[in-house]
């Protein structure tokens, strides 16, 4: 009969086999403990549907929010720069560009193979002071062209998509009175898209705005896109910002807009998703945004923590919204959150300073919230 000592290789083989088996079982049971669906991140949950992204702030980019960065690398496969590519930061003086933080941002995106967004080239807000003094159209056009060509050219082949024009429409769908419209007329929009296409023909080009679920504003976008298309100017996508709340907009309005933009032959991205849980000054009768609500307990109802009942509401709202996104996965290219965790959200400071808001999927301790669980449990 064959004795164990007669066959050392057999013993070794058996030891290794059982060690591997027990390791595999352990891993499997750990996985099952953490996530019964088998999904371990947002990006694995939505991998067959759309990119899932987050906006990064300066702290995350400069390494002082390393826990936030760890979440980004584990959970997301798309990034947007919250502020660092805006005119006032990247091109603050006529003849000087500040590329350092934007370079770090783009390098991060490339290193981790993430879909990297450029936000934003033409926007009336967060511009540079010198632009406001320019009154003649030729000078303004040459500044705009130089701005676009320099930035898009620098990141050619590295920035995958640009929010070319941001927030150019009023709520009724007409063109917003911005410095660009005033000095250049409405051709500034088509020129901007044309200059981006020349500087990086491969980059995806997006028109981005808020409240794009509103029927009148939706019609304004449709008119704007058709105008570009009639002139053979390339536009690839519409970005619906997605600064929403627990009740508004309705799923129906969101869906109608997704369908309307897709009917133009464009992909839709949800570009700045966050869901406020706080009262909105515009909802108060007669409230003006200039009114001072700072320090008002009524306007800041959850200074220490979010009550469980609201946590549940938020989770339900996120779940319904993502069910809708999944239904239209063939039309949606990307869904990006405007921030990583509640502590870093701009909604703690806007539209009223000094409040505690809870609009994202990760809390102030960097832990996933019920809202996170509610969407990773959605099956693809």
Give helix 308-327 / helix 251-263 axis angle, nearest 10°.
Answer: 30
Is 241 or 336 the residue whose CB approaches ligand XIL more closely? 241
CB of 55 to ligand XIL, least distance (A): 7
Is 83 or 229 the residue whose CB approaches ligand XIL more closely? 83
Is 239 or 279 the residue whose CB approaches ligand XIL more closely? 239
Question: Residue 187, interface with ligand XIL (CB under 6 A)?
Answer: no
Query: Per CB under 6 A, which of residues 99..138 are in contact with ligand XIL?
Result: none
Is 47 or 83 the residue whose CB approaches ligand XIL more closely? 83
Query: Per CB under 6 A, which of residues 142..181 are in contact with ligand XIL?
Result: 166
User: Is residue 46 within 8 Å of residue 52, measured between CB atoms?
Assistant: yes
- Of the candidates 37, 41, 83, 296, which one interacts with ligand XIL according to CB under 6 A? 83
Q: Which two tokens stand for residue 228?
A: 């570009």
CA distance 106 to 155: 8
Is 77 or 348 the residue whose CB approaches ligand XIL more closely? 348
Please name which of 81, 120, 206, 106 lies closest in space to residue 157, comparing C-alpha atoms.
106
Would you call 272 a catalytic residue per the annotation? yes
Burial of 308 (0-12, 13-18, 19+ CB in 10 A): exposed
Site string for ligand XIL, 271-310 (x = CB under 6 A): -x--------------------------------------
CB atoms under 10 Å from CB of 111, counted, come to 9
Angle ∠(104,105,106) on CA atoms, nearest 5:
95
CA distance 1 to 4: 10
Query: Per CB under 6 A, which of residues 312..371 are in contact with ligand XIL?
Result: 346
CB of 126 to ligand XIL, least distance (A): 6
Query: Per CB under 6 A, which of residues 224..253 are in contact with ligand XIL?
Result: 241
Residue nearest to ligand XIL (CB): 346
Would you call 133 a catalytic residue per the annotation? no
Residues 272, 285, 288, 294: which is the catalytic one? 272
CB of 127 to ligand XIL, least distance (A): 12
**How many residues make contact with ligand XIL (CB under 6 A)?**
6
Is 104 or 229 the residue whose CB approaches ligand XIL more closely? 104
Question: Helical H runs in 35-161?
Answer: 42-45, 58-62, 66-75, 87-90, 100-111, 137-154
CA distances from 89 to 49, 98, 99, 129, 159 (A): 34, 7, 9, 11, 17
Question: Residue 82, interface with ligand XIL (CB under 6 A)?
Answer: yes
Q: Which residues pair with 329 in a beta bridge?
A: none
CA distance 201 to 194: 10
Residues 75, 84, 167, 204: which is the catalytic one? 167
CB of 92 to ligand XIL, least distance (A): 15
CB of 82 to ligand XIL, least distance (A): 5
CA distance 248 to 244: 6
- In the complex, the residues that contact ligand XIL under the rule CB under 6 A are 82-83, 166, 241, 272, 346
Q: Which residues are catalytic, by number?
A: 167, 272
């Amino acid at each position: 009969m064959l004795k164990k000592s007669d066959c050392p290789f057999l013993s070794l083989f058996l030891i290794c086999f059982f060690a591997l088996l027990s390791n595999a079982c352990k891993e499997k049971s750990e996985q099952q403990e953490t996530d019964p669906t088998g999904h371990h991140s947002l990006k694995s949950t939505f991998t067959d549907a759309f990119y899932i992204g987050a906006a990064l702030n300066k702290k995350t980019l400069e390494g002082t929010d390393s826990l936030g960065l760890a979440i980004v690398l584990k959970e997301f496969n798309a990034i947007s720069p919250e502020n660092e590519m805006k005119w006032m930061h990247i091109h603050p003086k006529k003849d000087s560009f500040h590329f350092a933080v934007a370079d770090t941002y783009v390098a991060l995106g490339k290193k981790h193979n993430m879909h990297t967004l450029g936000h934003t080239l033409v926007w009336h807000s967060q511009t540079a002071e010198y632009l406001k003094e320019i009154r003649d159209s030729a000078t303004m056009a040459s500044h705009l062209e130089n701005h676009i060509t320099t930035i898009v050219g620098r990141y050619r082949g590295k920035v995958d998509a640009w929010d070319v024009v941001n927030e150019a429409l009023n709520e009724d769908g007409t063109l917003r009175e911005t410095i660009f419209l005033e000095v250049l007329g409405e051709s500034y929009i088509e020129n901007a898209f044309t200059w981006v296409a020349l500087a990086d023909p491969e980059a995806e080009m997006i028109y981005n705005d808020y409240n794009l679920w509103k029927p009148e504003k939706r019609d304004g976008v449709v008119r704007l896109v058709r105008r570009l298309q009639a002139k053979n100017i390339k536009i690839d996508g519409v970005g619906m910002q997605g600064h929403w709340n627990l009740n508004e907009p309705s799923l129906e309005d969101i869906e109608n807009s997704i369908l309307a933009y897709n009917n133009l032959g464009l992909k839709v991205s949800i570009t700045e998703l966050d869901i406020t849980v706080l009262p909105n000054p515009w909802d108060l009768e007669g409230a003006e945004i200039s009114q001072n609500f700072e320090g008002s307990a009524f306007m800041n109802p959850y200074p220490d923590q979010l009550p469980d009942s609201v946590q549940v509401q938020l989770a339900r709202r996120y779940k319904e919204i993502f069910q809708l996104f999944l239904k239209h996965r063939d039309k949606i290219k990307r869904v990006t959150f405007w921030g990583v965790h509640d502590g870093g959200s701009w909604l703690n400071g806007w539209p009223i300073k000094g409040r505690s808001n809870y609009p994202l999927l990760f809390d102030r301790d960097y832990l996933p919230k019920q809202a996170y669980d509610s969407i990773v449990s959605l099956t693809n």
